[in-house]
Amino acid sequence: MERDLSGLLFPRSVAVVGASGTPGKIGHALFQNVASSFSGPVWAVNPKYRELLGRPCVPSVADLPQPVDLAVIVVPAEHVAGVVRQCGERGIGNVAVISGGFKESGEEGARRERELVELARRYRINLLGPNVLGLISTRVGLNATFAPRGALPGDIAFMSQSGAFCTSVLDWAWQERLGFSHFVSLGNKAVLTEVEFLSAFARDPQTRVIVAYLEGISDGAAFIRTAREVAREKPVVVLKAGRAEAGARAVSSHTGTMAGSDQAYEAAFRKCGVIRAQNVEELFDYAYSLAKQPLPRGRRVGIVTNAGGAGVMATDAVEWEGLEVARFSEATARRLAERMPKAANIYNPVDILADARADRYREAVELVCGDPGVDMVVALSAPAPILTYAELAGILADARERFGKPLSCSFMAGELGEEAEGILRGAGIPSFFDPARAARALRVLADYARVRSQPRDGPRPLPVDREAVRQVLAEARAEDRPQLGLEAMEILSAYGIPVARGGFAPTPEEAGELARGLGEQVVLKVVSPDIIHKSDAGGVRVGVPAGEVEEEAWRLLRRLRERFPGAHLKGLYVQELLPPGREVILGMARDPTFGPLIMFGLGGIHVEVLRDVAFAVAPLSPREAEGLVRGIRGYPILRGVRGEPGVDLPALVEAVERLSRLVADFPEIAELDINPIMCYPDRVVAVDLRFTVAMEEGT
Ligand code: ADP
Ligand code: MG
């Protein structure tokens, strides 16, 4: 059920509870902002005054002459619950709790916060915060923050978990003249979280781009569900802080949020098409470009410059960003050759030389923009006495208008001056000193165009034997055995993941018998919950002649018993001997925020050394499974390089898809490794398995 946040985001009347007449107090700064920005009815609530800044002041919420759309609360923490209750009784459905002293401040604060959650539920209140800077809605002209600066109107909706970051962004955005549709400080997210605002911003016609600074996500599944839909409509750009381990700890002590692991966030964002910014600069570079520019049809970039060095740097950046340096059509090349001086470079990057005046620059830009093989253009320039920045800006603004293609520029100069900057801003052309940043501002457009064109797919139904897996897991729980391995290989076959032929033998005699049906040579592996890395422990024998299996099994067990006197040796797994192949690892770990996180990579015994792995949040569609396999650096090895045959990729992708189904179906599988899956040109086959079963229901 979606919440209606219109009363919060577009209020028609506002009360500030705890408004103060004492300069320096938050209640003063806040009320002053509200009173000076909002043209609708405003009340102050404070028993000390009858009037404040020319607005009526009443002693309590109960005394308000009408229920307002939005109550902003700035009273001390211990009084907040009482005020929220009064709001509920008064029929006020939207409340922003500015006050701190809740979950972020320890046990007592956490208790107070639970009380707020309970009240909000009982009275169906949209409660923002607590512990927030406030919110701004430029559409209704409301600044309900205590920040020294408000926001200019614009098309970016911004939300932030850090209130301090909100103030910094407001300050900087003012100077940059970057405007916002909405500006929301999320604070402790006790009731309203990023998910509710994502939906609300998606529906707001004023908002073109949604930008968020997040330290943690409250409900990973809800985020994925919502963000997936929203990101197809409008770009969603997120700066997720708490990437490094040390950073993650700082986050949890800061707002009381447990930050999930970085790989999980990365994978979840990729799954939904959320664009991740690595830092503040990227966050707003992306936001600006996405808000102001059209989307390109492809990734081919044309570069125009009057300075060789800038062109070289831009070319490097285009390649670094994974864009393509466009190849011009013959017609464009011919026209450039006709029109540009002999010494000019007419191939991309087009260098029209330092003596170029405005007409030459204009002609080059127009020819490049007009080329059908060019999807986007980076325009460059170095300070030149014969060409003003305003002239350059005007040429680019005209080209943007005429060709409708994304454009970014770098004039590699200090000050461009008011006129040039105004023209560029008016045309929505991102301008940077650094050509690399100009290329990056285009890359994000190409990335988002890709998000938009992605098919709306999901996991497909697969024929699987749920019951077989359920039995294995129930047995493990009944016998209190959390660590399972090869003896439970049938869970893989039950989900259609091919496994090597073999079986579990409790004794060496049975191992000998089992070996008979498995070929001339077999592989022996110890089965023990206490031995995790079997080959490291000397618990794997590859290529044992079938006739010597019993004898070898005795020897293996005896040696292990000597080396690991305490270990419980359950028996042996006897497996067919497979030819050498590519070894990959396929596994799953549960992330506290996003749930089952599938890992795929080059595997075998060197997985920790290679560290070539990629992650995705289960369950996976066939396309996502394929994306995961393609996502590792070593993918060319799997595809086949230098005349070596590749592996059976469709079979591998299907195994990934099926494993993702298995772990999504059985939340009691806490962790799992298939290492390795042996891959061949015509099949893939799992030869090792290890997993942990959560013993408690629901963990
Ligand atoms: P562990 O990972 O516990 O050491 P594995 O079962 O993964 O034990 O075996 C270790 C290595 O032995 C594998 O990475 C693989 O190279 C090789 N191996 C395992 N099983 C087979 C098999 N059936 N045929 C051929 N080689 C195998
Ligand atoms: Mg292994």
User: 20 pLDDT exceeds 70?
Assistant: yes
Of all protein residues, whose CA lies closest to atom 4 belonging to ligand 1? 535
Kindly state the helix (H) or strand (E) to which residue 588 belongs, with its residue range. strand 582-591
**Backbone φ, ψ for residue 576 (5° rounding):** -60, 150
Q: Beta 55-58 vs 236-240: how paired, if at all?
A: unpaired
* Cα–ligand 2 centroid distance for 373 (angstroms): 49
Q: How many CB atoms lie within 10 A of CB 107?
A: 8
Q: Which two tokens stand for residue 528?
A: 């023990």
pLDDT score for 699 = 44
Q: 117: Cβ–Cβ under 8 A, 6 or more apart, which residues?
A: 127, 190, 191
**Ligand 1 atom nearest to 525, measured from its CA:** 6
258 pLDDT tier (thresholds 50, 70, 90)? very low
Determine contact, residues 484/568, Cβ cutoff 8 Å: no
Which of the four pLDDT bands, split at 50, 70 and 90, describes residue 254?
A: very low
The pLDDT value given to residue 247 = 40
Question: CB-based burial of residue 2 (10 Å sphere; 0-12 exposed, 13-18 middle, 19+ buried)?
Answer: exposed
Calculate how far, in angstroms, residue 187's C-alpha sits from the geometric centre of ligand 1: 50
- 27-45 tens-digit pLDDT: 999 999 999 999 999 999 9
Q: Which bound ligand lies closest to the C-alpha atom of 541?
A: 1
At 359-372, the pLDDT tens digits run: 999 999 999 999 99
pLDDT by residue (tens digit) across 259-305? 237 889 999 999 999 999 999 999 999 999 999 999 999 999 999 99
* Mean local confidence (pLDDT), 204-211: 97
Pocket test for ligand 1, best of 486, 520, 535, 607 (most atoms within 8 A of CB): 535
Q: What is the pLDDT of residue 60?
A: 97
Average pLDDT, the chain: 93
Ligand 1 atom nearest to 690, measured from its CA: 3
User: Of ligand 1's atoms, which has the minimum distance to the CA of residue 579?
Assistant: 25
Mean pLDDT of 478-492: 93
Q: 287 and 156 in contact (C-beta within 8 Å)?
A: yes
Counting from 1 in the atom list of ligand 1, the atom nearest the Cα of 678 is 15
22 C-beta neighbours (distance < 10 Å), count = 8
Which residue from 483, 540, 610 has its CB within 8 A of the most atoms of ligand 1, so it is best to mutate? 540
From the alpha carbon of 675, which atom of ligand 1 is closest?
7
Check residue 243 and give its pLDDT.
Answer: 60
Query: Distance (Å, rounded) from C-alpha 612 to C-alpha 633?
Result: 6
Q: What is the mean pLDDT of residues 555-575?
A: 95
Distance of alpha carbon 302 from alpha carbon 298, whole angstroms? 12
pLDDT tens string 97-143? 999 999 999 999 999 999 999 999 999 999 999 999 999 999 999 99
Distance between Cα 512 and ligand 1 center (Å): 19
Label residue 603 by pLDDT band (50, 70, 90): confident
> In the prediction, which pLDDT does 1 show?
60
Q: Which of 142, 193, 183, 137 is nearest to 163 (CA)?
A: 183
| Residue closest to 274 by CA, chosen among 312, 314, 234, 218 | 234
How much is the pTM?
0.92
Q: Which residues have any ligand 1 atom within 6 Å of their CB? A: 500, 523, 525, 533-535, 540, 542, 575-578, 583, 604-605, 675-676, 687-688
Q: Which band of pLDDT confidence, cut at 50, 70 and 90, is reported for residue 622?
A: very high
- Nearest C-alpha to atom 3 of ligand 1 is from which residue? 534
pLDDT at 17: 98
Region 155-174 average pLDDT: 93
pLDDT per residue as tens digits for the range 495-536: 999 999 999 999 999 999 999 999 999 999 999 999 888 998
Tens digit of each residue's pLDDT (9 = 90 or more) over 308-334: 999 999 999 999 999 999 999 999 999
Is residue 144 within 8 Å of residue 136, measured between CB atoms? yes
